[in-house]
Structure 1
Amino acid sequence: MADHDHQLPQGEEGREGRPQDQVPSPGQDGRREDLPVDLDPETISVLRKWHREQAKERLALGRAYRNDENLVFTRADGLPLDPIQVYRVFKRLVERDGLPDVPLHSLRHEAASLQIEASVDIAVVSKHLRHSKISLTSDTYGHLIGTVGKAAAEAAAAVVPDDGPGRGGKIPTLALPNPPSYRCQPMV
């Protein structure tokens, strides 16, 4: 078995050899959903390295290795991690590194907040969070959307063509048969 920096202790096993509270959530058809996850190249590299380490463990244990579900993160014998032990390791790492003591689930909210701050479209954030409706994401994180409003307005303005060089950068006017009677005032 490979020696890991933060190997999780083995937990109490529940039904079918799974740790308690570690049964996959069913999809609409009653089976566990395997959905793709968008990852950056560095994370993919780290996961590929981990996959090679996991393959070594699988070879070393032979038939005793039991990862029938092809899970990415498992105990050394291939069984699913115990969520309680994962939480305990998380708390130890937070304390060791002097990070704020926050609930583990807060990391999900932080990831969503960082995506919104980076001007990621709310539909994409919703997809990443696996929300059933964009309105759930918008209702939950809508207060953050205003913080990126100015950047969004500037990005939108950048794609509007001007009259060309030397013309003062004025936005072209549209020839409307019945121009609207209202005028927009600049926001300060």
Structure 2
Amino acid sequence: MQVIARRVGLCTALVRPADRGATTLTVGRRHRPPEGAWTVYRDREPCGEVTVLGCTRRRGAGAVLHLAGPLPFDLAAGVELGDDLLPRQRLHGLRHSNASIQIREGVDLALISKRLGHSNPSITARLYAHLLRSTGQAVAETVVRAVPRRVMRPSHPQSTHNDHRSASE
């Protein structure tokens, strides 16, 4: 599971540290063509960007990436290059993410429950109650917008303060 999640947004990871001012990065296996602009991630948190112009293959699966300009910061081995990296997550966590997305998008709770293999929708409702509250609020607001309103107008015009002036003014 981790391999799949990693490959979704990962270009590569550094196998050797790189100092500020370097114009090349030594990386391991590449999951995508390396040419282009890449976000640099330390511990899955973005910390900068580099632009790769090309690469030279190394022995094995590695490569040396050639940068468009000098590296603006020091990088340790293990730093990753990619875009929108998925967080490290267990397979069971993806199950919860799937259910959360379905609830947010308004999929019927009975259908979600069936797809998750719960014996009845009340189990799903109990597990995801925190999400159902916000979804319920959104549904209520949708209904309020859909119900036509009759504009109430007064049956006789109300006088204003200025209408009660005396003739002497």
TM bracket, shorter-chain basis = 0.3 to 0.5
Q: Which has the higher strand share?
A: 2
What's the TM-score, normalizing by structure 1?
0.36
Higher-RCO chain (CA-CA 8 Å, sequence separation at least 6): 2
What's the TM-score, normalizing by structure 2?
0.40
* Rg larger in structure: 2
